Homo-oligomer: A and B are copies of this chain.
């Protein structure tokens, strides 16, 4: 039995109910921890489920930031220093990752508060999550103000990647499931995955085949 919800229903929902509904409507999402540091050197870590691919050449991605949320420290640090890290979330620390979304004061590092380990690489100002299997260094590329609702889109450029060697296939595909990366739905639901298959590049004259 299908339930139908229309625009007026959505408009009339209680605020928290609407946020929960709309956030869980768009499918499974990328789940990453973004590590930054302010000019004074204080580290910050925040969970994001809005990471999206923008292009491979140059290697670009976007994230969406709500300036009135805990994400505002991430935003100000990225704009101050121009550098940040993107760290995948694995099953064995997803509760700690979720905990970084609590509203801590600016002088508290979410690494300490949530129980994750700060890792630092020479020459890279932003901190990494030691527990994470796949880590990316990114530089700030562009800021786009989205007038429709006051959110901000940050475009980042991928500079360095660290990943488990046995998760990189010959064709460049990274087996993030094998690396332990998890996904999320809505604001608070976390999921492991199980591959159905990879499929061959789609062509008009034949149906896709399973690659593995």
Contacts and interface: CB of A to CB of B under 8 A. Distances in A.
Interface of A: 1-7, 10, 13, 15-32, 49-62, 64, 66, 86, 88, 91, 94-95, 98-104, 108, 113, 134, 136, 141-142, 144, 146-149, 151, 153, 155, 158-166, 168, 171-177, 181-183, 185-186, 188-204, 207-208, 211
Nearest to A23: B53
A104 B19 contact: no
Contact of A142 (B18, B62, B147): B147
A177 to B, nearest CB: 6
A1 B149 contact: no
Contacts of A59: 10, 18, 22
Contacts of A53: 22-23, 26, 29, 49-50, 64
A12 to B, nearest CB: 11
A52 to B, nearest CB: 5
Contacts of A211: 188
Chain A's interface: helix, strand, loop or mixed, by majority?
Answer: mixed
Contacts of A99: 202, 207-208
Given A188-B200, A208-B95, A27 B183 contact: yes
Query: How many copies of this chain?
Result: 2
A155 B62 CA distance: 14
A51 B60 CA distance: 16
A195 to B, nearest CB: 5
A46 to B, nearest CB: 11
B195 A162 contact: no
A191 B196 contact: yes
A3 B133 CA distance: 11
A57 B183 contact: no
A105 to B, nearest CB: 8
A52 B26 contact: yes
A175 B21 CA distance: 10
A41 to B, nearest CB: 22
B196 A160 contact: no
A133 to B, nearest CB: 9
